């Protein structure tokens, strides 16, 4: 039996909901303020709200994946840089 067989893979809907909740908490707390700024900037640029949430979620997911892949702590600098680059995503680099 493969060693990963006992691991439960996260439910994608649950993961998306958790990302959105984290982003909503960041916007509410204005911490980091760049999350709220990115949200407002994208809306002002004409992006529909239903398109903004996945963009913000992708940035957070990318940072979380980098933490796991690189075995490093959360990088506020990298996260803010990616937020400021939206609608371009980190994977577009």
Question: Which pTM does this prediction carry?
Answer: 0.85
Is 2 exposed, middle or buried (CB count within 10 Å of its CB: 0-12, 13-18, 19+)?
Answer: exposed
Average pLDDT by consecutive 10-residue portion of the chain (93 residues)? 55 92 98 98 98 97 94 96 95 57
Rounded CA-CA distance 66/53 in Å is 20
């Amino acid at each position: 039996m493969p060693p990963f067989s006992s691991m439960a893979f996260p439910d994608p809907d649950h993961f998306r909901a958790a990302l959105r909740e984290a982003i909503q908490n960041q916007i509410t707390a204005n911490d980091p303020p760049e999350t709220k700024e990115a949200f407002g900037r994208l809306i002002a640029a004409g992006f529909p709200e239903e398109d903004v949430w996945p963009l913000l979620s992708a940035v957070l997911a990318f940072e979380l994946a980098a933490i796991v892949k690189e075995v490093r702590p959360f990088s506020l600098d990298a996260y803010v840089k990616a937020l400021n680059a939206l609608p371009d995503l980190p994977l577009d680099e």
